[in-house]
A and B are shown apart, each in its own frame.
Chain A
């Protein structure tokens, strides 16, 4: 019926708009056949989307833009040429590929393939039939698939521009050449993918499903995918299309299967370059060294995010971990990832590891992981390369909600980093610990800045207390205080916890900076020795002064520590120069330090009070001793 209508339209109704076509008999036959393939039964396909129906003029057979676009791409003309042809034939203008538009387009394709410029005039002459090279077999058979492919692609919300869509379709088409035949034996149940995929256009997706179901019984009938006739919306490169394609191909073209199976028996299990790079990047996010391996737990957490069931994951692991060592090297990881991706796309897992996924094969095929941004630049990649990374993206986006192709690979990597940060903590402990220790670094830096200007703290020479001979008294105990939190001589009460925690946080500095250790250790005991050594402690207090303005203890020593305060102000500009990344960590640490400082300041004041009292007692005792001495001497 469509063929008849098409023929009639071709024969008769060419006068509207575009110039009249003169088609030879062979051309007519071929074109009508092609048109019949491309044209979905506007009324025949119950699954056709409403938008398409709205655009289609009732009673006119139109070719869905999806299959048409694929067919055009199969002509292997450059995208710009196809654009031109589409414009010229009038499809763009009218918004759909009617018979006339389609035939004109075909003629233009033939002209372009013959080398003639794409112009209306070109089609006036005799031209050979357009050639569509989509696969090893005649491309027309593939109409079914492209349509499906195209239709499913609609549901993918990635692309928005027609140009992109064309380009991607180019890629996908080429990929289809190599991939689709081999997908056939692995046709997956159409119902499985929706479960895995995040489908923003959910209703469209369900329609696609229904249309896919109908397409099965209708051999080579161009389904009406839910793709809008305009190519723009059909841009989304879809991974599902491949699946449908596979199912269709299997159902419909036996000979193709035979042919293609022989040459590409493992296509779905063949990792393309893009996929390989994606896997390598993911591997790097988990394990920076590509020649090393990922431990089992790290890989388990990573793969669990794919939301596959545990038995399936364990089976995939069993397949991919060839040496059964509980860890994944890079080729093993790529194989496992590929299997997961395939499984998410609905392919049943193989009984054994396919030869293209064997570690030796992967090592040989991709000896050196390259870090090229091909993903974003060249669209002339194979279909699964586009599809599978998008699968991965979809898989990851289902976890992380990403919608843009160039972005996901990077964002996913970064998100993976964040998500697996706690797993890779052992691997990437440094960045993490650095953030925590940034404040300690700041502290240490501040402390480190101090020594040059304030009185030398490390010396432990209690200059002010030297008159009391405390140097001699407490120097033996200084190593003790330096080493640990030993309480000072019994005159003073034991140290409370906050000061100890402060010491602990200071102890963290030790591994961080080289300068810090001596000063941190010495500054902390110096703080402890506040009652013993006023000058060394004052610079510390001064240092925290900008952070803790309310420290009452600093008041009495304000006058004495004037120069010290000036010294302590210097570290702050340095602090402010720190990267904004560490600011938050620094600020939280600053808060903590302020609290600790407040506690310490209070303690300091109390201890100083006690010290004064003790001093007084001592003086009193010494006086008594002096008074009594003459008695005892005598």
Chain B
């Protein structure tokens, strides 16, 4: 029953981020952003051991008053961050793990699509929801702007009509999986 699920690329820019529409989405974006530091810390702490031994599930990254943030990192340094409601006490660690596992599987399926270039955004449908960029790199739906690569939230947004290169992959399966996670505990 996540309220926000984000997939962060290796370079710490978001590949996919989606939150429940009722909330202020920027707040979740900010939370995910700040959780990246914790993720990096955990990775480096565990990284002293061999990479193989490092567990993918990072556990609770940090709790806030209302929410808890869980993290998961793949072997290719792609991070999944999930924000759940603190009031939802029924969620156990195992459930969170299973949700991350399913997320990982869906992400792998997206990867298997030859039309997906690693590093592209994962979109749900052509012309689908655009990511809100909390930084001044707000892009309109028809323009195509590549923000400075230094920004952690540098988004690339392309117009729906553009056929090549900058069009992110469209993956309904992934989106459906995320939707199901937001609705219920998987």
Residues of A whose CB lies within 8 Å of any CB of B are 295-297, 299-300, 307-315, 317-318, 321, 324-326, 351
Contact = CB atoms under 8 A, between A and B. Distances in A.
B172 interface: yes
8 smallest CB-CB distances across A and B, nearest first, come from A296-B114, A326-B112, A314-B115, A300-B114, A311-B170, A309-B163, A324-B109, A311-B126
A333 to B, nearest CB: 13
B142 to A, nearest CB: 15
B62 interface: no
A84 B179 CA distance: 64
Interface string B143-180: 00000000000000000011110011111110000000
A237 to B, nearest CB: 29
Contacts of B113: 296, 314, 317-318, 321, 326
Contacts of A326: 111-114
Interface in B99-142: 108-109, 111-116, 123, 125-126
Contacts of A299: 114
A309 B114 contact: no
Nearest to B126: A311
Nearest to B165: A310
Given A309-B126, A309-B167, A324 B112 contact: yes
15 contacts: A295-B114, A296-B113, A297-B114, A308-B163, A309-B126, A309-B163, A311-B123, A311-B168, A312-B170, A314-B113, A314-B169, A315-B126, A315-B171, A315-B172, A321-B113
Contacts of A295: 114
Nearest to A317: B113
A310 B164 contact: yes
A310 B112 contact: no
A312 B126 contact: yes
A309 B159 CA distance: 12
A318 B126 contact: no
A300 B109 contact: no
A595 B2 CA distance: 71
Interface of B: 108-109, 111-116, 123, 125-126, 161-164, 167-173
Given A296-B113, A324-B109, A310 B167 contact: yes
Given A317-B115, A321-B113, A326-B111, 6 more contacts: A311-B126, A311-B168, A321-B112, A324-B108, A324-B112, A326-B113
Interface centre among B108, B113, B114, B163 (most CB of A within 10 A): B114
Contact of A314 (B108, B161, B162, B171): B171
Contacts of A309: 126, 161-164, 167
A314 B112 contact: no
A273 B164 CA distance: 33
A310 B126 CA distance: 10
Nearest to A294: B114
B172 A318 contact: yes
A299 B125 CA distance: 21
B102 to A, nearest CB: 13
Contacts of A321: 112-113
A314 B163 CA distance: 11
A315 B162 CA distance: 15
B158 to A, nearest CB: 10
Contacts of A314: 113, 115-116, 169-171
Nearest to B163: A309
A315 B167 CA distance: 12
Contacts of A324: 108-109, 112
A300 B114 CA distance: 6
Nearest to A295: B114
Contacts of A313: 115
A310 B163 contact: yes
B173 A318 contact: yes
Nearest to A310: B167
A317 B163 CA distance: 16
A295 B108 CA distance: 16
A299 B115 CA distance: 9
Contact of B171 (A297, A307, A318, A325): A318
Nearest to A326: B112
B181 to A, nearest CB: 18
Nearest to B167: A310
A324 B126 CA distance: 20
A315 B169 CA distance: 8
B167 to A, nearest CB: 5
Nearest to A352: B172
A321 B116 CA distance: 14
Interface centre among A295, A311, A317, A321 (most CB of B within 10 A): A311
A112 B162 CA distance: 56
Interface centre among A300, A308, A309 (most CB of B within 10 A): A309
Contact of A310 (B108, B109, B115, B172): B115
A315 B163 CA distance: 13
Contacts of B169: 310-311, 314
A326 B111 CA distance: 8
B115 A300 contact: yes
A317 B171 CA distance: 10
Nearest to B162: A309
A307 B112 CA distance: 21
Contacts of B114: 295-297, 299-300, 317, 326
Contacts of A300: 114-115
Interface centre among A308, A310, A312 (most CB of B within 10 A): A310
